[in-house]
Structure 1
Amino acid sequence: MPQSPSAVAPYSRIVLGIDPGTAITGYGVVGETVQGEFELLACGVIRTQANEEMHLRLLEIFHDMRALIAEFRPSEMAIEKLFFGRNVTTAITVGQARGTVLLAGAESGLAIAEYTPAEVKQPITVYGSADKQHIQEMLQRVLNLP
């Protein structure tokens, strides 16, 4: 589970961002201050064991998502849209994880926005085909990270 700040009150809004997957679900929690600045509150991954049955893996993702939502009390969730590639089996399992995350967000009454990878990259890097290294560098600047 994440290392969290002691208070989430000084933020005008808190957004929980999700990159869904059955083996690894990535998350980031960002707070926007009343001055319009963004601060990283937490980031990490939810890992499930490949040798577990799928329903147990999904249950673990669901419980961890509920815990994140309870801890940080976001008002919004941003989640990556499912990209349907050549591997149908992977797309189905990622879709199951995605559905589990969406359920946790809906259950908590969060406003949910879905974005393609290019839509996420565009405002951060100015172009939608940036590589992971460029995205990391730009996020470090925006969030004032070392």
Structure 2
Amino acid sequence: MRVLGVDPGLTRLGIAVVDGGVGRAVRAVAVDVIRTPAEDDLSVRLLKVSDAVEGWFDQHRPEVVAIERVFSQHNVRTAMGTAQAAGVVALAAARRGLPVMFHTPSEVKAAVTGSGRADKAQVTIMVTRLLGLSAAPKPADAADALALAICHLWRAPMRDRMAEAEARAAELAKKHRARLAAAARESRTVIK
């Protein structure tokens, strides 16, 4: 499976493509940071993000997009810009019919380092090791984008199995309720 990982942001948006293989095998395909000048109008910045992401879709043909879920930040303006950038990426993916999954920062950290409280340096070290990179990806936004893709590759099979199990359980519960209702109807007709 090929995953496009996105660490959203207006000034710096980390973007990476990672291929998943058998088991937990992962391979970095590409990584970069999309930058937009703070002095540009918001609409222009969002258009630049959209155009760059579209280029990545054309060049790398991902099967799914994994985006970091925006969490509350102290700076509302920063949180808004981050959310807007994430929305632009999700919209571009939806236009192409690509599934979009959102992962929380702690979920990504736990998947890559084993601890949901890992710092950026720990995430970067583990991403570098897991992908067998000769140098750590910089800036941290690039490492975070790689971590998001890895997180999705490792968590998606589990999520799929959980969804299948929940669907089977719901179907069994539905059949059980139908049998109970039929038995109740039958007992009422026998009593009369």
TM-score by length of structure 2 reads 0.67
More displaced 10-residue stretch of structure 1: 110-119 or 131-140: 131-140
Question: For each residue in 1:59-115, what CA deviation from the matched residue of structure 2 results, as whole angstroms up to 9, or x when unmatched?
Answer: 000010011011110001110111112222221122111111111111111111101
More displaced 10-residue stretch of structure 1: 80-89 or 69-78: 80-89
**1:101 is paired with a residue of what secondary structure?**
helix
Q: Which amino acid is the alignment partner of residue 26 of structure 2?
A: F
User: What is the correspondence of 1:1-146 to structure 2 with a 5 Å cutoff?
Assistant: 13-34=1-22, 37-146=25-134
**2:111 is paired with a residue of what secondary structure?**
helix
Partners of 2:11 and 2:21 in 1: how far apart? Answer: 33
Partners of 1:20 and 1:38 in 2: how far apart? Answer: 22
Question: For each residue in 1:118-138, what CA deviation from the matched residue of structure 2 results, as whole angstroms up to 9, or x when unmatched?
Answer: 000101111111111211121
TM-score by length of structure 1 reads 0.87
Higher strand share: 1
1:33 CA drift (Å): 3.0
Q: Which amino acid is the alignment partner of residue 82 of structure 1?
A: V
Q: Which has the higher contact order (CA 8 A, sep 6+)?
A: 2
Give the count of matched residue pairs.
134
